[in-house]
Amino acid sequence: MEYADQAPHVGASTLFLVTPRVPYRWLPLTEDFAGYSCLFDDAFLLPARSGVVLAELPIFQPGAYPVWEVAEADCVAIEAIFQKMAHELGSGYAYKHDLLRTYLWELIHLVQKLQPAPAPLATHSAAERVAAQFTELLEQQFPRHSPQPPLRLRTATDYAHQLAVHVNHLNRVLKETTGHTTTALISRRLTQEAKLLLKQTAWSISEIADSLGFADVAHFCTFFKRHAAQTPGDFRRLAVFGL
């Protein structure tokens, strides 16, 4: 499978979670495979009574790794949940969707427990809040679904203005919390998206450059070669055709 700019191998007893925020593509290596899938949208999963919001869980955060190798005991538990969901989906029970919602939350929490994240702190520093807001703002611009309109935010100054902070302050905060400058983080995300568009769309290089907010193809090619160590055309030929 391909997920963002990664290509993790999915073997037996593997769980795979994706969100619409990150493009993915399933590439089966054999026809001899079986499993379960469950597709749902935000409207189906209302906030839990506890106040948990799906998008705030660590397993659905930008950068979270989507593939889990599942131990046999956990695999049995996960399969049982899917079987209950499949059975209920075909039933005539009037409140089956409430029950399905409960099963789905059970599945999500089971997965969350497989790789528990540190408990969130009761308070966050101002720097952490700004860094989190920057990351959210950056991810909101992706994935790209059309060459037009181009990216609204492209530079460190654009993000600083949107966050109502000085560009030097934003850079200092991100360097402190992530170890990278604002420009480096933006460039890394742009490179990731450019690779995806080159691999998974038929857009011309000019259209990709426009979509990502570059002034012209030459600037995009220079940027891509600097960060990917090859031209966009060479990357596409190798990724798509193996040439």
Percent of the chain at pLDDT above 90?
42
Give the tens place of pLDDT for each residue, 16-60. 877 766 666 666 667 777 888 888 876 677 655 555 666 667 777
Query: Within 13 Å and on the Cβ side, how many CA atoms surround 112?
Result: 18
Residues of the chain with pLDDT under 50: 117-123
Of 168, 156, 162, the C-alpha closest to 137 is 162
CA dist 185 and 65 (Å) reads: 18
Q: Domain-by-domain residue ranges, the chain?
A: 2-114, 126-241
Query: Within 13 Å and on the Cβ side, how many CA atoms surround 77?
Result: 14
Task: Reply yes or no on domain 126-241 having CATH 1.10.10.60.
Answer: yes
Residue 4 has what pLDDT?
59
